[in-house]
Amino acid sequence: MTDLEAELRKVVRGDVGFDVTSRALVTMDASNYRRVPFGVVAPRDADDVAGVLEVCRSHGVPVVARGGGTSIAGQATGTGVVLDFTRYMNRLVSLDPEARTAVVQPGLVLDRLQEAAAPHGLRFGPDPSTHSRCTLGGMIGNNSCGSHSVAWGTTADSVRELDVITARGRRLRLGRDWSGAPDGLRELVDGELARLRTGFPELPRRISGYALDALLPERGADVARSYCGSEGTLGVLTEAVVGLVEAPRARALAVLGYADESAAAEAAAGLLPLRPLTVEGMAADLVPSTAALPRGGAWLFVETGGESAEEARARAETVVRAADGVDTLVVTDPAGQRALWRIREDASGTATRMPDGTEAWPGWEDCAVPPARLGEYLRDFRALLGAHGLRGTPYGHFGDGCIHVRIDFDLLTEPGIARFRRFSEELAELVVAHGGSLSGEHGDGQARAELLPRMYGREMVGLFERVKGVWDPDDLLNPGMLVRPAPLDADLRFSVLPREPVDVAFGYPLDGGDFSAAVRRCVGVAKCRTTSVSGSSVMCPSFRATGAEEHSTRGRARLLHEMLAGEVVTDGWRSTEVRDALDLCLSCKGCRSDCPVEVDMATYKAEFLHHHYAGRRRPAAHHAMGRLPVWLHAVSRTHTARLVNALARLRLFARAAKRLGGIAPEREIPRVATRTFSQWWERGRARGTSAQGDLVVLWPDTFTEYLSPSVGQAAVRVLEAAGLRVALPPTVRLEKPPVGDGRTVALDPLSLLRGRGHVCCGLTYVSTGQLDRARAVMRRTLDLMEPVLETDAPVVVLEPSCAAALRTDVPELLHDDPRAARLAAKVLTFAETLERHAPDWTPPRVDRPVAGQTHCHQHAVLGDAADRRLRRAALLAGELSGGCCGLAGNFGFEKGHYEVSTACAEEQLLPSVRDAPDGTVVLADGFSCRTQLEQLAGVRGRHLAEVLAAALEGDG
């Protein structure tokens, strides 16, 4: 323990972390930069903050205040001690609806304030796209804005008073009329009034530099306002009084289509007199092709509000009329509006990949110009990109003249970095030529501070340095930001990564086979740190259960990045820190779909475990549950299912078995079926079938085969009722058509019984990182499935996790075998099969409400649109919840995971079932989901096939 750490532990009641994990988690924010701190402190209160400052001052160690860590200019990274306010100083202290104010701590997440204000008809005006995880302290430090700034301004417009501790320990209450100003600040400003009155461009999104013009006497000498946007370089915020605004009772969204983003930008300023709530711009490259938008190559999202839905819509129609000559759409449905806003909010992540998959990066994310000049600026910006051979897709706050863009800089090679610098210098000149600000929302940080003299001139920047000296004469607070900055091309996060691809098992097709590129996907937007599930989203259940950064997708990606870098995490694949962080990853795959950049932590975890345990003894759970298909097959072959079930009910035997197998003692061992699905099929198929429809091959996954054969039986009944011919793998006899006959090759379902072999997707081996064994199992499966691959028959998979494994894990792990991709292309879910191969079939009318949860792998990989349509056709009313059941295959059974497993279930799944009215059908297509329901709630969940089969037989 260093002297610094020891002294901090003496004075701090909160957490002091100088360990590898604590440091690795905060080496980066959402920018291109990386710095390794000495340690991290999570203070409990202002006294802790004061203690940290005193100790660090005595040691000459810098202090960096950090909120949600989503800054994109590097200002939330540092080499000294990082203050993490999200752990303890995250409270809403009070809310006064009459005064329309709230008292907040710096670590409070914006959405928590919005939720508290909403019942009073109020809200905090600024709302960045990171509203679900950004903190009020970070917003004040960066003077954040968001999409509603055309109506409610920046964070500075909403700040009333601030409690701040200076680097030398003075506690100040900042406000208007010089309230709380440090000694010497007023005298310094009084001597520079002329410069302050003429040296700042007038535009709504001028965030760059210090807001010293707020100290002018005609502007109220507002010290609190001038502190906003100072990026933690002047003092450390411990509490804030912020203003709230009245939220409109109803909203409508007008979507206007334009030829390109320049045309949209030119139109934006003309809509401002209509007083909209937002005027946001998006280009086609960032919008999913499935989005139902007006014709065009770019769009304006213009939100209007009113006291009623009619008034909001009327204002939206006024906007439409003002945008004469373009294709338009007005959306009044709240769900439809949320879906469109999600596209906009995810752009900070989706923009990090060009349409061809090339990486793109921040750095010039949020320049701002006067709104009336935005169209002209964008044309010049496009020309500058072209001159440097760069690409980017602008989007953002067109109504305020603020543009976000990720650019495909090459930040890995010296020539690429040199071009990054040249482009940055020329773009700064272009922005200034248009009367703009280098930063229009996210602050200068390291990305732009070096270029501030081009915007303000040397004299004004010199004044910034003098102001910094008044507040922080020892340059203790976030040095290298805003004043006396580090070079914009130093400390790049990518410089420490290996230059040659790492030898890995998975193919990483979207990242060119490069594991480093896969890890680089995480840019730090931190959507995984959202503390509540919205809609059907899943990511990241372990973070919501623990609240710990290392259990978020971003945190794990950071640790993997540092593992590859080898500076903080020094033992590579053998790292216990990375292993421990990944241990609570449920492999739900939620990040694969919910993360804007499609980080796939389940795959990264499997990859890591594969290397971590290579040549070493594995945990008992890997053998007990990773090889589950082997054990269950052995029980079936030896006809010992009844004996196994009887022994599992004996307390002493069960306890010993769970201890030996690394299974959580709180868990019950599931019952093994006394007759497998295949055995039922063999005994019942001898009579054949009269169905004449398409042939489908029903996959006997491990869970359906040995644990829930009733699901397979029900599926057969429904598929045959729909007129389909059902067959099973693994071996088939082909009826070869005559030579020259163009008929499709057909399968004889009965012949499937006469072969040997067992198909398996390899899921349990993948989830435990036994990738060599997984590949062997998958290759054997492909051998057995070759006859099926020669036909047009789809492969119907009832267990969502197995279907997801066949669609993704198999082709990504066997990327050298073309048969894997052919099999993946054949995989259909139960609902997809009925929709595509029996389109004229009408399901039975169940006419019941439903509750339960969409399987996390189905949400992330397969999609559930066909399931929703099938449920509607069967009159199964209601929506299934999002989130993850928490059992997640082997995860919830492993020793040490029970508490997190149950916490995940308690978030969405169990409440949705408990709150369901009598007569509700509890749907759970996954074996894990059904097991969790049974063991935690005593509720029997049913596969959709079981529900439909029961209805067909008149037993709804």
**pLDDT tens digits, residue range 259-271?**
999 999 999 999 9
Question: Is residue 51 included in any domain, yes or no?
Answer: yes
pLDDT value at residue 755: 35
In this structure, the answer to whether residues 588 and 698 fall within a common structural domain is no
Q: Is the pLDDT of residue 939 over 50?
A: yes
Asked whether 381 and 404 are in contact (CB, 8 A), the reply is: no
Specify whether 41 is located in the same domain as 69.
yes
Q: Are residues 586 and 723 in the same domain?
A: no
Least confident of 442-456, 680-694, 709-723: 680-694
Instruction: For 182-193, write each residue's pLDDT tens digit.
Output: 999 999 999 999
Beta pairing class for 827-828 and 725-727 = unpaired
- Cis peptide bond N-terminal to 885, omega within 30: no
pLDDT at 740: 37
* Residues 6+ positions from 331 with CB-CB distance below 8 Å: 252, 253, 254, 255, 337, 340
Residue 766 belongs to a domain? yes
Q: Are the C-beta atoms of residues 726 and 696 closer than 8 Å to each other?
A: yes
What is the C-alpha to C-alpha distance for residues 273 and 281, in angstroms, rounded to an integer? 17
- Residue 28 falls inside a structural domain: yes
Q: Is residue 100 part of a domain?
A: yes
Residues 125-143: pLDDT tens digits? 999 989 999 999 999 999 9
In this predicted model, what pLDDT tens digit does every residue of 648-674 receive, in sequence order?
999 999 999 999 999 999 999 999 999
Asked if the model's pLDDT at residue 818 lies above 90, the reply is: yes
Among the listed residues 506, 550, 766, 19, the one whose alpha carbon sits nearest the alpha carbon of residue 561: 550
How many domains are contained in the chain?
6
pTM, whole model, 2 decimals?
Answer: 0.93
The pLDDT of residue 689 is 62
496 contacts 24 by C-beta, under 8 angstroms: no
Backbone angles phi, psi at 92, to 5 degrees: -85, 105
* Whole-number percent of the chain with pLDDT over 90: 88
3-11 and 46-59 helices, crossing angle to 10°:
160
Phi-psi region of 567 (alpha: psi -120 to 50; beta: other; left: phi over 0): alpha
Please check the confidence at residue 609 and state whether its pLDDT lies above 50: yes
Tell me the average pLDDT of the chain.
93
**Structure confidence by residue, pLDDT tens digits, 573-597:** 999 999 999 999 999 999 999 998 9
Confidence of residue 742 (pLDDT cuts 50, 70, 90): very low
Q: Which conformational region is residue 217 in: left (phi greater than 0), alpha (psi within -120 to 50 degrees), or beta? A: alpha
Instruction: Supply the Cα-derived Rg of the chain in whole angstroms.
Output: 30
Q: How far is CA 815 from CA 70, 438, 775, 800, 811, in A?
A: 35, 45, 10, 22, 5
Is residue 951 within 8 A of residue 844, CB to CB? The reply is yes
**Using one digit for the tens of pLDDT, what is the confidence trace for 313-369?**
999 999 999 998 899 999 999 989 988 888 888 777 777 778 787 889 988 878 999
Q: How many DSSP H helices and E strands does the chain contain? A: 43, 27
Domain extent at residue 871: 842-953
- Stated as kind and residue range, the H or E segment containing 871 is helix 865-873
**Last-in-domain residue among 246, 281, 315:** 246
Residue for token pair 């439809």: 336
Q: In b/e form, how buried is each residue of 923-938, taking b as 16+ CB within 10 angstroms? A: bbbbbbbbbbbebbbe
Mean pLDDT value across residues 31-37: 96
Distance in angstroms (rounded) separating the CA atoms of residues 506 and 592: 15
Q: Considering Cα of 235, then 237, then 243, then 247, what sign does the dihedral take?
A: positive
Question: Which distant-in-sequence residues (6+ apart) come within 8 Å of 469 by Cβ?
Answer: none
pLDDT tens per residue, range 73-111: 999 999 999 999 999 999 999 999 999 999 999 999 999
Contact between residue 319 and residue 308 where contact means Cβ atoms under 8 Å apart: no
Q: Is the dihedral of CA 934, 939, 940, 942 positive or negative?
A: negative
Question: Residue 668 domain-assigned?
Answer: no
Domain match, 79 and 149 both: no
Assess contact for 542 and 584: CB atoms under 8 A. yes
**What is the rounded average pLDDT of the residues 551-578?**
98
CB 930, CB 853: distance < 8 Å: no
Using the 3D structure, point to which of 575, 596, 611 is the last residue of a domain.
Answer: 611
Looking at the predicted structure, is the pLDDT value of residue 737 above 50?
no
Question: How far, in Å, CA of 698 to CA of 727, rounded?
Answer: 6
Contacts of residue 421, defined as CB under 8 A and 6 or more positions apart, other chains included, come to 488, 489
User: Which letter, b or e, does each residue of 875-911 get, where b requires 16 or more Cβ atoms within 10 Å of its Cβ?
Assistant: ebebebbbbbbbbbbbbbbbbebbebbbebbbbbbbe
CA distance 619 to 149: 53
**What CATH code is carried by the domain that includes residue 300?**
3.30.70.2740
Per DSSP, the three-state class of 797 is strand
What's the number of CA atoms in the CB half-sphere (13 Å) around residue 204? 24
Do 714 and 861 fall into the same domain? no
- Based on the domain organization, do 823 and 933 belong to the same domain? no
Q: What span, in angstroms and rounded, lies between the C-alpha atoms of 290 and 581?
A: 36
- DSSP conformation letters of 101-128: EEEE-TT-BHHHHHHHHGGGTEE-S-B-
For residue 906, the one-letter residue type is E
Please check the confidence at residue 214 and state whether its pLDDT lies above 60.
yes
- Which residue blocks in 228-373 are alpha helix, DSSP H? 261-271, 309-322, 334-345, 347-350
Q: Is residue 230 part of a domain?
A: yes
402 and 324 part of one domain = yes
User: How confident is the model at residue 10, as a pLDDT?
Assistant: 97
Do the domain assignments include residue 24? yes
Q: How many beta carbons lie within 10 A of that of residue 356, not counting itself?
A: 7
Torsion sign across C-alpha atoms 113, 119, 120, 122: positive
Residues 787 and 559: their CA atoms lie apart, in Å, by: 44
Give the mean pLDDT of 689-694: 75
| Measured CA distances, 712 to 34, 510, 709, 945 (Å) | 52, 34, 5, 8
| 256 and 111 in a common domain | no
Distance CA 351, CA 408 (A): 10
* b/e map 642-671, b = 16+ CB within 10 Å: eebbeebeeeeebeebbeebbbbebbebbe
Residues 6+ apart with CB under 8 A from 929: 852, 853, 855, 885, 887, 909, 941
Residues 6+ apart with CB under 8 A from 446: 31, 33, 73, 74, 75, 480, 481, 485, 486, 487, 488, 490, 491
Instruction: Give the mean pLDDT of 927-946.
Output: 97
pLDDT of 753 strictly over 80: no
Same domain, 848 and 908: yes
C-alpha to C-alpha distance for 605 and 586, rounded to whole angstroms? 10
Same domain, residue pair 831 and 869 = no
In this structure, the answer to whether residues 325 and 396 fall within a common structural domain is yes
What the block records as the tokens of 623 is 């053998």
* 859 to 261, 300, 340, 535, 588: CA distances (angstroms): 32, 29, 19, 11, 10
Tens digits of residue pLDDT in 390-415:
999 889 999 999 999 999 999 999 99
| DSSP per-residue string spanning 166-180 | -TT--EEEE-STTTT
Q: Which two tokens stand for residue 258?
A: 């334009």
The reported pLDDT for the residue numbered 287 is 82
Same domain? For 870 and 926 the reply is yes
Contact (CB, 8 A) for 24 and 555: no
Per-residue pLDDT, 741:
36
- Beta carbons within 10 angstroms of residue 918's beta carbon: 5
Question: Is 467 inside any structural domain?
Answer: no
CA of 917: how far to CAs of 206, 848, 849, 851, in Å? 54, 10, 8, 9
Helix (H) or strand (E) holding 254: strand 250-258
- Domain boundary, last residue among 57, 84, 111: 84
- DSSP-based three-state secondary structure for 679: helix
What does DSSP assign to residue 527? Answer: G
**Helical residues (DSSP H) of 649-708, grouped into ranges:** 651-661, 677-684, 702-706
